[in-house]
Each structure stands twice: as structure tokens, then as C-alpha cells.
Amino acid sequence: NAGVTQTPKFQVLKTGQSMTLQCAQDMNHNSMYWYRQDPGMGLRLIYYSASEGTTDKGEVPNGYNVSRLNKREFSLRLESAAPSQTSVYFCASRQSGGHGYTFGSGTRLTVV
């Protein structure tokens, strides 16, 4: 089925470990986004990519890096995980010229 695929679905990290969250879409969308969701705070934009080769900071970029590997893939990297990064992470994509955003199923990350 067409859509946004995130891997892994669950992850537990120790403080200071690094990891990369993967996101891929097969809808030929130009724009891709990373959000984190914390209780009582809604979804907050971490980074986004308007097109292949470009990335921009969102509301809460500190502690994260991103790579727009190609048009399909947009990864989020935590270089040195902290307990404050415990959250659910959602990837999304958007068709240029359209209005709809498609969200992945999320990655639940716990940092201990």
C-alpha cells in the first residue's frame, strides 16, 4: 500500500547512544517532515525538507540531525540520546501543489 513507512516502530536506547530513525514514502512527494509527540504538547516540528537536497529547522531541532537521502527517504538522527528525547516520532510527507499531508505510523522511542 502506498504511504509513509517508518522504521523501527519501537526502540529503547541508553543515554548517550546514537540511532537513526528511517522514513520512506512512495507517493513521489516533494516535502517531508519529522515531528515529535509528547503528552499534552501536541506534535512539534523538528525538521523538514521542502525538496531533495534541502532541509530546514522546525520548532524543536536541538539534539537532532536529518538527511534527505533522496526524494523517497528522510532520516532523523539522534547523535547522543537524552531522556528528554523520549517521545513518539512521526514522519509525514506532502504532495507539491496539493493540500494533504500523509503521516507514518510512528516510532516510539524510550531513552533510559
Partner 1 sequence: ELKVEQNPLFLSMQEGKNYTIYCNYSTTSDRLYWYRQDPGKSLESLFVLLSNGAVKQEGRLMASLDTKARLSTLHITAAVHDLSATYFCAVDPQYGGATNKLIFGTGTLLAVQP
By beta-carbon proximity to partner 1, the closer residue of 66 and 92 is 92
Provide the minimum distance between the beta carbon of 16 and partner 1 in the complex, in angstroms, as a whole number.
28
Q: Which is nearer to partner 1, 85 or 104 (CB)?
A: 104
C-alpha 17/C-alpha 56 separation (Å) is: 24
Question: What minimum distance in Å lies between the beta carbon of 7 and partner 1?
Answer: 14
Binding site for partner 1 (CB under 8 A): 31, 33, 35, 40-45, 48, 50, 56, 58-59, 90, 92, 94, 99-101, 103-106
Q: What is the DSSP string of 34-97?
A: EEEE-TTS-EEEEEEESSTT--EE-S--TT-EEEE-SSSBEEEEESS--GGG-EEEEEEEE-TT
Judged by beta carbon, residue 10 or residue 14, the one nearer partner 1 is: 10
The burial of 98, by beta-carbon neighbours within 10 Å (0-12 exposed, 13-18 middle, 19 or more buried), is given as exposed
CB of 46 to partner 1, least distance (A): 11
**Residue (85 or 93) nearer to partner 1, CB:** 93
